[in-house]
Amino acid sequence: MAHWKSEDNAQSLVRIFNEVRLCCRCENVRRDGAARRISCSKSDLFVVMEAPSSSHVWRSGVQCFDPFGQLGTTGKNLEKFLNSIGYTVYPEIEIRLDDDHLIRCAKPLKPAYISDMVMCWPGYESTKEQKGNRSPTEQECRTCFGMGFLQREIEIIRPKVVLVVGKKAQGIFRKLELQTTIFQGMGYFDIPHPSGANGANWYPFIRDVDRVNSIRKALSTQQGDEPELTSTAR
């Protein structure tokens, strides 16, 4: 698939994220927790996570880093897998964060573009047992998809392969039948969530040579070929 010019992509992504920050459809999300600045604007690999996290840097394409430029367990696990197929969570350009912390550039590996099922941070979920990032509701997912933000991101990036991470995102995608709409002509793969708590599903996945090779093969498809829609979720 031919990419648009990177600078054109960046301008188009800026317009999307400006619209996200002006969106008022969902009452219980933090619009200031949406991606702010562009750090990755082209990739053959598009990764869809669930939603931004409070502890991550909110930037287009690199939602895995903390404010010190470090990766947590989820980011490290995802990075190790992406490295095995020639990609990385690190961006195409070096990023200077607050207090002069740096996120280095991806070279020599190729940067994956990382986005979210819901564009805004859902906020905290507080119970007597725990306090953590709240998962978006099904209605919030449907509302965000209805605004077309993710679809337009995919149209701008024009990846060869889309990886949808985790059961929550995958279940919503199936309900909305997105595999047969916005992902036409792309390799579509469901993969387990790489969090440390999901090791029982994640580690067998990365050791499954056939499943990993199927993703690698789809990424190597030449321009003009159309990989089949494929689910590798378990």
- Taking the whole predicted model, whether its pTM rises above 0.95 is answered as no
Query: Residue 4: pLDDT band by 50, 70, 90 thresholds?
Result: very low
Distance (Å, whole) CA 29 – CA 17: 15
Going by C-alpha positions, the residue among 206, 197, 7 that lies closest to residue 93 is 7
CB 232 within 8 A of CB 85: no
Instruction: Give pLDDT tens digits for 111-149.
Output: 898 888 888 888 887 655 556 778 888 888 889 988 989
Query: Per-residue pLDDT for 230 more than 50?
Result: no
Distance (Å, whole) CA 190 – CA 188: 7
The ranges assigned to domains in the chain are 6-121+156-219
Distance (Å, whole) CA 127 – CA 102: 35
Q: Which CATH number fits domain 6-121+156-219: 1.20.120, 1.10.287, 3.30.160, 3.40.470?
A: 3.40.470
Query: Residue 208: pLDDT band by 50, 70, 90 thresholds?
Result: very high
Query: Residue 231: pLDDT band by 50, 70, 90 thresholds?
Result: very low
